[in-house]
Amino acid sequence: MDEQDEYCAAAERAAHRLPTPKPVAVAYPLALLVLLALVTVLIVSGRT
């Protein structure tokens, strides 16, 4: 539940300064993609 509260607080902070810096807007999806790739690699390597 703490993580959800932190996420809500971060979302509120982001909402107050709506113009999101472009590097941040690009970094989040990129980080998610990298995380997905890492998890996929770990799962695949774990199955062998």
pLDDT tens digits, one per residue of 20-33: 667 777 888 899 99
- What secondary structure letter does DSSP report for 19? S
pLDDT score of 36 more than 90: yes
**Which residue in 10, 16, 46 sits closest to 28, CA to CA?**
10
Threshold 0.95, pTM exceeds? no
CA angle 33, 44, 3 (to 5 degrees): 45
Q: Which residues contact 21 (CB under 8 A, 6 or more apart)?
A: none
pLDDT given for residue 3 in this prediction: 77
Tell me the pLDDT band of 41, cut-offs 50, 70 and 90. very high
Residue 36, token pair as written in the block: 């997905």
